Amino acid sequence: MPYRSVCRWLCLFLIPVGLTDSPLAAELTAGAAKVDITNYDAGPVNDPLFAKALVLKSGEDTVVLVTVDAVAIGEIGPIKNDYLGKVRGELERTLGISPQHVLINASHCHGIVCPDVAERTVQAVTAAAKQLVPVTVGTGRGFEDRIMENRRLKLKSGREADVRHAYSLPPDDAVAEVGPVDPDIGLLRLDRADGSGTLAVLYQFACHPIQTVPNGGNSADMIGFASKVLEEGLGDEALALFFQGCGGDINPVQYKDVNNPRDAEPLGHKLGLSALTAARKIECSKDASLRILNETLALPRADNAEKIAALEAEQQRLLGSLRGTTLNLKTFLTLTMNQGLSAEFPTSYSHRYLHEKSRGRNDLERFDAENKRNLEAYRQNIYVMEELTRLQANLALLKKHQARNVASGSRTIDVELVTLKVGDFVLTTFPGELTVRIGLHLKQASPFPQTFVSGYTNGYIYYAPTKEQLLNVGGAQEDSDCLLAPDWQEIYEKHALAMLRKLDGK
């Protein structure tokens, strides 16, 4: 028996519990459908939100991929904590689909979905399951690096800050460096085997879709626009389903622009066109094996009691550092403008300074020096105020999660991890906001070249930053809006890689 055949034969006996493996020869069928989940009672709508479903069937196995234009699967936003169980329970009851084979990803846009989103999600899956057709599959990778940036800033002090609307950025000269982004667009394309075009494209990318639209209406943000470009570009009623990646510390560019209204549409168009360009190049084949693993992992909860005490002490120190000056906001702005217009002669015409000098006096210069000292003191107060807004917002998050961890009575938190392989396309998921380095690391370490990592799937446990980012607890949202202890990263990455290797049969 040739070596490869021996391996394949051996693998049949090495498949671990929980692993479903459909033989390569089994035909893959698929169906796709979408249902509008916009809450039309929640104010003006700019563009609709959708639950989209892709049902894949191979032999006896059925896998369901659902994407929703919502902030999270439970915990925050309008989707309630019972949503996942409700959808899975109903799909098991009516369609006989195993709950462990149902993946639901939230795009993390901040749109407002309707109260009956669970029922409508079931409708989308049911409609998709009713129209299964034989498909061929292919995978690929697009490239986009113009629309996003890493939102964590390394400061010269060694601490890190992040780009949020909740507070001010540190002064420009305090910033030392920025973090990475992941320009990959992961792509799975499914074509109808009868040659009648593309049935669906699943695309995956890492970025917070939170740019909003100029009219402030309800919106699926850049994902809604990107999916529309893909669907119209592909034609044949193809459905584009978006899986959010490791976007925990990735923001849209110009997120804090105050000179132009922020607009998700051009960003979404760029993402959609980049995805479309790559999707068109994919060649689909009949080699469409379907494998899925679903496991639960316990991760350590954080204990930030000491960090909270240290931050409260820092809060008092900052408050105590505020010093009164003769200026108020109005006089500060006037003097700042005068200094900016004429650093040498801010108070009056230059000839008055020259006249004073010729008479052996320097009253104006002395006055300017005093104003300069007051301006600097006032500026320092403003920086302290800005630092306090950052500290207090993050301290409140830390206290919230500390209380939650204490109330849980447990040192660990369970997370559901799924690893899915469709042809050469591999997706591994996590129910929290993974930061981008974790995705980059797992992709590099995976035995499969086309591996993509998605947070925001099958639940929501807030941010999941790296061990190193957690050294900065209290300094930025990702490290403060978090339930996890620093060791979580190593435990998770090891387990996710083990699951990938199980799919690889190693």
Where do we find the tokens 């009851």?
A: 93
- The CA-atom distances, in angstroms, between 155 and each of 162, 173, 381 are 10, 9, 20
CB of 75 to Zn ion, least distance (A): 11
Stretch that binds Zn ion, among 331-339, 382-390, 427-435, 495-503 (CB under 5 A): 427-435
> Of the ranges 122-130, 230-238, 336-344, 425-433, which one interacts with Zn ion (CB under 5 A)?
425-433
- What does the per-residue mask of binding to Zn ion show for 45-74, with x meaning CB under 5 A? ------------------------------
Contacts of 373 (CB under 8 A, 6+ apart): none
Q: Which residue, chain included where needed, has tokens 């132009």? A: 260
Rounded to whole angstroms, how far apart are CA atoms 398 and 411? 17
Q: Considering beta carbons, is residue 30 or 71 the nearer one to Zn ion?
A: 71
Q: How far is the CB of 252 from Zn ion (least distance, A)?
A: 12
**Part in contact with Zn ion (CB under 5 A); list of ranges 47-55, 139-147, 429-437, 449-457:** 429-437
CB of 68 to Zn ion, least distance (A): 15
Residue reference for tokens 């941010």: 463
Nearer to Zn ion, 276 or 464 (CB): 464
> Which of 206, 496 has the CB closer to Zn ion?
206
Residue 108 beta carbon to Zn ion: minimum distance, rounded to whole angstroms? 6
Cα 60 from chain centroid? 34
Q: How far apart are CA 203 and CA 197, in angstroms?
A: 17
Query: CB–CB of 330/62 below 8 Å?
Result: no
Residue appearing with tokens 């899925």: 292
The Cα 208–Cα 221 span in angstroms is 10
What backbone phi and psi angles, to 5 degrees, belong to 131? -125, 45
User: Closest separation between CB of residue 73 and Zn ion, Å?
Assistant: 13
Can you say how many angstroms the Cα of residue 139 is from the centroid of all Cα atoms in its chain? 22
Alpha-carbon distances of 196 from 140, 231, 423, rounded to whole Å: 21, 15, 20
Report the nearest approach of Zn ion to the CB of residue 433 (Å): 5
Closer residue to Zn ion, CB minimum distance, 69 or 433 = 433
The residue among 424 and 433 lying less far from Zn ion, judged by its C-beta, is 433
In the chain the first and final C-alpha atoms are separated, in Å, by: 20
The nearest distance, CB 250 to Zn ion, in angstroms, is: 9
Minimum separation from the CB atom of position 481 to Zn ion (A): 8
In the structure encoding, which two tokens stand for residue 107, read together? Answer: 């795009």
Give the angle 54-59-63 at the CA atoms, nearest 5°: 25
Question: Which range touches Zn ion (CB under 5 A), out of 174-182, 227-235, 401-409, 428-436?
Answer: 428-436
Which candidate, 385, 411, 396, 394, places its Cα nearest to that of 470? 394
Report d(CA 169, CA 276) in Å as an integer. 35
Residues in a beta bridge with 413? 299
Which residue has the closest beta carbon to Zn ion?
433
CB of 69 to Zn ion, least distance (A): 15
Contacts of 227 (CB under 8 A, 6+ apart): 50, 220, 240, 241, 242, 272
* Rounded Cα distance, 481 and 152, in Å: 14
**In this complex, which beta carbon is closest to Zn ion, that of residue 433 or of residue 479?**
433
As measured in angstroms, the least distance from the Cβ of 210 to Zn ion is: 7
- For residues 416 and 433, which CB has a smaller minimum distance to Zn ion in the complex? 433
Question: Which region among 21-29, 295-303, 365-373, 431-439 touches Zn ion (by CB under 5 A)?
Answer: 431-439
Identity of the residue, 346 or 455, whose beta carbon is nearer to Zn ion in the bound complex: 455
* Residue 240, beta-bridge partner list: 201
Complex with Zn ion: residue 58 or 429, whichever CB lies closer: 429
What is the Cα 349 distance to its own chain's centre? Answer: 55
Q: How far is the CB of 487 from Zn ion (least distance, A)?
A: 22
Of the pair 144, 433, the CB lying nearest Zn ion is at 433
**Given the rule CB under 5 A, which of 187-195, 415-423, 430-438, 481-489 is the region that contacts Zn ion?**
430-438
The stretch near Zn ion (CB under 5 A) out of 149-157, 393-401, 405-413, 432-440 is: 432-440
Cβ-based nearer residue to Zn ion, 69 or 191: 69
Cα separation, 309 vs 311, in Å, equals: 5
User: Which span (90-98, 123-131, 337-345, 433-441) binds Zn ion, by CB under 5 A?
Assistant: 433-441
The count of residues interacting with Zn ion (CB under 5 A) is 1
Q: What is the chain's percent helix, strand, coil content, to nearest 5?
A: 40, 25, 35
The footprint of Zn ion (CB under 5 A) covers: 433
